Amino acid sequence: MSFILSSIDTVDTISAADFTKNYLNPRRPLVIKGLTKTWPARDKWTPEYLKQVVGDKVVPLYDNSKADPAKPINSATTHMPFTDYIDLIKSQPTELRIFFFNIFKQAPELLNDIVMPKDLMGGFLESMPAMFFGGSNSVTFLHYDIDLPHIFHTHFGGRKHVILFENKWKRRLYCIPNATYALEDYDVLNPDTKKFPALEGVQGQEVFLEHGDTLFMPTGYWHWMKYLDGSYSLSLRAWDASLSRKAASLYNLAVKGGIDSVLKMTLKSGYAKFREELAIKWANRELKAGKPY
């Protein structure tokens, strides 16, 4: 392991004051095991129940290769009725994932089964809860979210391995300029540090989420996730209170995304190569300088 991983603080419950002081303000991740104790979803959202309420709606499925709103090319590997997909992940390992599924549009009654943790912080984007499903062995590649929300990520129905890196490490992680993912989809559990020397010594945090656990992932954190069992997660997203972060979110969405696609169209493969070279140059420069501090 070339990364230096520590465990994420875990509590059963936390007061708003402690959460704000020790996690929200300093941007530290936290696992809250008991946040869902008041949620009907904790007992109700079995695979059978979800099948019953969502039904045969055909859903797009993605494999372990990159698929993210941050990427201009975001094409599904295949499609399948939701019920068949749930049967698949409960019966065998599969790379196939459902990604950013607005399940509440399909089954609005599910919204009654969750409780927004408004007692911990404000700014929730209530219209945007999304769910993620994965088979045992499926992986969400390393990236951070382009619109920089704080995320409460609650897991259901199995275990999920999560590795996080603070955004300050992005150059050491070979972040592609103007993008929210790395140069190559390297193996986060066993990265090739001969090929990517700047990964050596990068510090991150790790957790194995279990049914009902909620991970607080502060704005800008890089995340890599592996479903150990066929299981699913809910992401509740909240804007940061500070104006500068809001501005940064908008900048990421409007300006960076725009520049990125314009340059990409104009320069095509030359641009891709240029960005890859820049990612390597930046990674090596930071490594040499012993950054980030």
* Closest chain position to Fe ion (CB): 145
State in angstroms the smallest separation of the CB of 145 from Fe ion.
5
Q: Which residues contact 145 (CB under 8 A, 6 or more apart)?
A: 70, 151, 180
State in angstroms the smallest separation of the CB of 94 from Fe ion.
20
Of 76, 126, 132, the closest CA to residue 101 belongs to 132
The phi and psi torsions of 34 (rounded to 5 degrees) equal -100, 5
State in angstroms the smallest separation of the CB of 97 from Fe ion.
12
- Closer to Fe ion at the Cβ: 171 or 223? 223
- Closer to Fe ion at the Cβ: 83 or 138? 138
Residues 129-168 that bind Fe ion (CB under 5 A): 145
Q: How many residues bind Fe ion (CB under 5 A)?
A: 1
Contact (CB, 8 A) for 35 and 117: yes
- Closer to Fe ion at the Cβ: 145 or 229? 145
Q: What DSSP assignment string belongs to 65-117?
A: S---TTSS----SEEEEHHHHHHHHHHS----EEEEE-HHHH-GGGGGG----
Q: Six-digit token pair at 193?
A: 């540090």
- Closer to Fe ion at the Cβ: 94 or 235? 235
Residues 23-52 that bind Fe ion (CB under 5 A): none
State in angstroms the smallest separation of the CB of 140 from Fe ion.
7
Tell me which residues touch Fe ion (CB under 5 A).
145
